[in-house]
């Protein structure tokens, strides 16, 4: 059985990693896939990706890096994404992974106008989401966790925008039948989100927002968290633990 690939594009900050583990661990918990179904490749550390045909699908993680830096490992991963799309491998990109997928497929990524978006935010599903297999049964609005400075400014021409937040009009994108990406973090739980807000306290205040109110507003996001598991089921990533 082919593994599900976690393409790791960075590491959680040391204090957060010490308390909660690293990105691959969060995705394993939120997908509820068994250990033996997963293979992690840390592309930001120079590890090589397998051919797309050798995997059942891939999840592309977040990162503290910026897509606009055009790092060699990042551009190499963008090429892999294009190849995976050609071979119709299921892909789910998150935050940096969301932006990298959009960049790889012809969109434009840059800094989010107005500065960073961080904390638990409501997002609104758009009309197109009612016809999408992943989102058709979801409520019109639900909470998500966000922390990002860059965003997809212009989606690829072939992409379908499924959801937006007040600050970011491209929170959820569909690229063909088997590929999706989210600017928000479905793999975060509330404690991880609080730790990110706590860590960015000074930056948030310097940018004119109130970190205490953002911290207090953090809440569970069960609908967003369920997206990864639903995607896993749709695309036959079997051995999901109940």
Per residue, what are the HEC states of 22-69? CHHHHHHHHHCECHHHEEEEEHHHCCCCCCHHHCCEEEECCCCCCHHH
Tell which CATH classification among 3.40.190.10, 3.40.50.880, 3.40.109.10, 3.10.129.10 matches the domain 4-113+148-188+223-234: 3.40.50.880
Count, residues in the chain: 242
In contact, 149 and 189? CB cutoff 8 Å: no
CA–CA separation, 64 and 53 (whole Å): 29
Beta-bridged to residue 191, according to DSSP, are none
- pLDDT category, 238, cuts 50, 70, 90? low
Enter the tokens of residue 65. 């890096």
Pair type for strands 4-8 and 57-60: parallel
Catalytic annotation on 149? no
pLDDT single digits (tens) 84-130 = 999 999 999 999 999 999 999 999 999 999 999 999 999 999 999 99
CA–CA separation, 103 and 199 (whole Å): 28
pLDDT single digits (tens) 178-222 = 999 999 999 999 999 999 999 999 999 999 999 999 999 999 999
In contact, 12 and 22? CB cutoff 8 Å: yes
Catalytic annotation on 54? no
Per-domain residue ranges for the chain?
A: 4-113+148-188+223-234
Catalytic annotation on 103? no
Q: Point out the catalytic residue in the list 95, 98, 117, 170.
A: 95
Q: Point out the catalytic residue in the list 124, 148, 187, 207.
A: 187
């Amino acid at each position: 059985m082919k593994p599900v690939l976690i393409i790791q594009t960075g590491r959680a900050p040391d204090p957060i990693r010490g308390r909660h583990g690293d990105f691959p661990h969060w995705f394993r918990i939120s997908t509820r896939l068994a250990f033996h179904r997963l293979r992690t490749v840390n592309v930001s550390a120079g590890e090589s990706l397998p051919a797309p045909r050798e995997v059942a699908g891939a999840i592309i993680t977040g990162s503290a890096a910026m897509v606009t830096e055009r790092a060699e490992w990042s551009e190499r991963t963008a090429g892999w994404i294009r190849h995976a799309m050609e071979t119709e491998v299921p892909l789910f990109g998150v935050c940096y992974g969301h932006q990298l997928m959009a960049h790889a497929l012809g969109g434009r990524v840059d800094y989010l106008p107005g500065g960073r978006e961080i904390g638990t935010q409501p997002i609104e599903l758009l009309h197109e989401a009612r016809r999408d297999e992943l989102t058709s049964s979801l409520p019109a609005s639900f909470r998500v966790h966000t922390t990002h400075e860059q965003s997809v400014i212009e989606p690829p021409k072939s992409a379908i925008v499924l959801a937006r937040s007040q600050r970011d009009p491209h929170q959820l994108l569909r690229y063909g039948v088997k590929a999706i990406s989210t600017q928000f973090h479905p793999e975060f739980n509330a404690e991880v989100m609080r730790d990110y807000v706590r860590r960015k306290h000074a930056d948030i205040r310097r940018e004119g927002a109130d970190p205490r109110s953002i911290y207090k507003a953090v809440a569970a996001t069960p609908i967003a968290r369920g997206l990864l598991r639903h995607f896993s089921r749709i695309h036959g990533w079997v051995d999901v633990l109940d």
